[in-house]
């Protein structure tokens, strides 16, 4: 699966070298004295958890940021990568973590965006260039498909084609596998292998250890902006997977490793092991039906799918995962359950009662909660205090509001209790909520939504972008809530997370639920992946 054997045939001289690169953002040292060599024909894996500085390093190489200290050498020459254009001119192509394809344009138009010279669009030459690159990657890409119609794996192939468009010598892949189905990861792996055979250097950023081990020829580990470990090709070849895992985990987390969780948690979180769910009960069909969607449809927008004819049953104590490509109706599903969006047809039942016409607040009273994925904008009021944010949904209610007036002692007491219970790290309960870190904002949201007796909670990408310690904590909260009889609708783009937490995984594509997999075998991820790939291929109609 890896390109280690091919590496020997290419020269060992680095194509790109980073020398003492440092970058400081207000309050954060993103990169600190990083020195790295990238060699042709090899896959260089960059490991580290969220916030370790991987993305900053990449954006420096891509010309999106300028280093504060240090420099970059290409072929031994010191260079100044002042813009994405100049990065391209130096032969550095980047596939970003978030798609940079324009969904309303065709594949060909997206690819031609980087073309310079000539006033008129030259579709024919772009087509033949695409054929060339497709052959190089070993994939087939339909040039006339609209970008929005492609499955995630296909979109990524287009992104790679785009990065290779001008004959790049270095290809940077920023967390390319985080949302891919296992089948698509295999395709990506094959493409990467072909590229390294052609002598192209690949920088592969990931936070999953098993991928770094299987795909990488060289591995570097970042922690808090510093390069804490480098494993060169010869050493890596001699390491067993277990030794590799031990070495990398020690470097990635240092002394914090015990703070994150037990050894098993750490291995799961760092993607060293594949998650499987330990099921406590074989069947939950005898439990009470708490949430029931019947043939629900919501409107679509040109940029985001609504849901169409979705039916779903959720029982007490059950976690139902929803897998799918971002933007395929997940938000609409969450919002139609929460009451933020009205169903144009179909019904939503809560504990057997039709709540289709009820608003957000009325549904909350009935025990339904929604933890949004847009934490900073939808989740909190950034300019209000932590205390007020924690009690945002109790406004006007006793005992926090008495005769229309806020009762400060009661609010502060409850806020202090929640801050302690959920270990929210804040200078004070009166601090601005917007000033908290992403992980603490998420804990604030969980504290707010999980207090006052919820029965059903919708989690939308609950661990996205968080550090592993918080990820572990959030997953525990979800598990505990279900253990205690709560019903969970878990929307996520992280397949590992879905497999770890869910009893069943439903697959959403183009706003429809296209399949459902019982999570009762190690094969779940693959089955879910099949639905994700298959459904995107078979349905051609647009929104």
Partner 1 sequence: MIDILTTTFIATFIAGVIASAIPLVLGSLGETLGEQSGVLNLGIEGMMLFGAYFGFVTTLETNSYFLGLLAGIAAGFVMSILMVMLNIWLGLNQIVIGLALTMIGGGITSVLYFSTYGQTTPRLGQPDVFPIPVLSDLPVVGSSIFQQPLAFWIALVLAFVVSVVLRNTNFGLRVRAAGQNPNSLDAAGGNVVRTRTYVALLGGAFAGFGGAYLALMSAGTFTPFMTSGIGYIAIVVTMLSRGRILWVIASSFVYGISVSVGTVLQLTSFDLPTDVIKMLPFVAVMITLIVFARSSYVPPALGVPYTRGAR
Residues that bind partner 1 (CB under 8 A): 59, 62, 64-65, 83-85, 88, 94, 96, 100-105, 109-110, 112-116, 118-121, 162, 302-303
Question: At closest approach, how far in Å is the CB of 139 from partner 1?
Answer: 20
Which helix (H) or strand (E) segment is 507 a member of? strand 504-509
Nearer to partner 1, 360 or 543 (CB): 543
**How would you label 184-195 residue by residue, b for 16+ Cβ within 10 Å and e otherwise?**
bbebbbebbbbb
The phi, psi pair for 301, rounded to 5°, reads -115, 165
Q: How far is the CB of 166 from partner 1 (least distance, A)?
A: 9
N-terminal to C-terminal alpha carbon distance within the chain: 38
- Nearest-approach distance from CB 59 to partner 1, in angstroms: 7
> Cβ of residue 34: shortest distance to partner 1, in angstroms?
18
For 303, the 3-state DSSP assignment is coil
DSSP secondary-structure letter at 288? P
What residues does 538 pair with on adjacent strands?
A: none
Smallest distance from partner 1 to CB 253, Å? 26
Nearest distance from residue 56's CB to partner 1, in Å?
10
Residue 429 token pair: 């309960």
Question: Are 512 and 324 within 8 A, CB to CB?
Answer: no
Lookup result for tokens 């300028």: 66
Q: Which is nearer to partner 1, 65 or 157 (CB)?
A: 65
With beta carbons less than 8 A apart as the criterion, state whether 16 and 170 touch: yes
Largest CA distance in the chain: 80
**Residue environment code for 403-415, b if the CB has 16+ CB neighbours within 10 A, otherwise e:** eeeeeeebbbebb
Nearer to partner 1, 112 or 275 (CB): 112
CA atoms of 196 and 44, how far apart (whole Å): 11
- Compute the Cα dihedral for 80, 83, 84, 90 and give only its sign: negative
Give the separation between CA 457 and CA 449, rounded to whole angstroms: 8
Q: To the nearest whole angstrom, how small is the minimum distance from the Cβ of residue 388 to partner 1?
A: 25
Cβ closer to partner 1: 394 or 440?
440
Decide whether 116 or 453 has the Cβ nearer to partner 1: 116
CB 303 to partner 1: min, Å: 6
Using CA atoms, how far apart are residues 324 and 100, in angstroms rounded to an integer?
A: 19
Give the torsion sign (CA, 135, 137, 142, 144): negative
Closest distance of CB 212 from partner 1, Å: 25
């Amino acid at each position: 699966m890896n390109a280690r054997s091919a590496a020997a045939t290419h020269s060992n001289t680095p194509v790109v070298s980073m020398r003492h690169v440092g970058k400081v953002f207000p309050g954060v040292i993103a990169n600190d004295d990083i020195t790295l060599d990238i060699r042709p024909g090899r896959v260089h894996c960059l490991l580290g958890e969220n916030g370790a500085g991987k993305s900053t390093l990449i954006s420096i190489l891509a010309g999106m940021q300028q280093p504060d200290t240090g420099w970059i050498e290409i072929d031994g020459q010191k260079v100044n990568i002042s813009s994405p254009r100049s990065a391209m001119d130096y032969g550095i192509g980047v596939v970003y973590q978030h798609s940079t394809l324009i969904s309303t344009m065709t594949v060909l138009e997206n690819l031609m965006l980087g073309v310079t010279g000539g006033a008129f669009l030259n579709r024919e030459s772009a087509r033949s260039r695409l054929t060339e690159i497709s052959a190089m990657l070993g994939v087939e890409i339909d040039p006339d498909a609209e970008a929005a119609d492609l499955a995630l794996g296909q979109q990524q192939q287009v992104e790679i084609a785009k990065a290779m468009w001008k004959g790049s010598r270095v290809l940077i892949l920023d967390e390319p596998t985080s949302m891919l189905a296992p089948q698509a990861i295999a395709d990506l792996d094959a493409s990467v292998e072909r590229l390294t055979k052609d002598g192209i250097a690949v920088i592969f950023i990931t936070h999953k250890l098993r991928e770094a081990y299987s795909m990488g020829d060289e591995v570097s580990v970042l922690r808090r902006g510093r390069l804490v470990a480098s494993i060169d090709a010869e050493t890596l070849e001699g390491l067993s997977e277990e030794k590799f895992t031990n070495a990398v985990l020690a470097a990635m987390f240092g002394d914090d490793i015990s703070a994150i969780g037990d050894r098993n948690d750490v291995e799961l979180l760092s993607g060293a092991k594949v998650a499987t769910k330990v099921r406590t009960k074989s069947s939950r069909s005898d439990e009470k039906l708490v949430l029931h969607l019947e043939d629900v449809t919501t409107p679509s927008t040109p940029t985001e799918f609504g849901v169409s004819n979705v039916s779903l049953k959720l029982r007490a104590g059950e976690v139902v995962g929803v897998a799918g490509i971002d933007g395929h109706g997940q938000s609409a599903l969450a919002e139609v359950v929460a009451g933020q969006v009205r169903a144009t047809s179909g019904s939503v039942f809560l504990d057997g009662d039709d709540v289709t016409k009820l608003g957000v607040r009325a549904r909350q009273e009935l025990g339904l909660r929604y933890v949004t994925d847009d934490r900073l904008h939808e989740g909190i009021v950034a300019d209000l205090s932590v205390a007020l944010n924690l009690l945002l949904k109790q406004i006007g209610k006793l005992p926090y509001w008495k005769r229309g007036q806020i009762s400060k002692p009661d609010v502060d007491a409850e806020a202090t209790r929640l801050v302690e219970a959920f270990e929210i790290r804040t200078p004070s309960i009166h601090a601005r909520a917007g000033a908290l870190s992403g992980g603490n904002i998420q804990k604030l949201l969980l504290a707010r939504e999980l207090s006052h007796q919820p029965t059903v909670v919708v989690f939308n990408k609950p661990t996205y972008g968080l550090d592993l310690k918080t990820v572990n904590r959030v997953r525990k909260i979800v598990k505990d809530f279900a253990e205690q009889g709560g019903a969970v609708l878990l929307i996520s783009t992280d397949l590992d997370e879905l497999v770890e937490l869910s009893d069943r995984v439903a697959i959403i594509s183009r706003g429809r639920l296209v399949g459902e997999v019982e999570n009762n075998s190690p094969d779940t991820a693959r089955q879910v992946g099949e639905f994700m790939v298959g459904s995107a291929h078979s349905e051609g109609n647009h929104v």
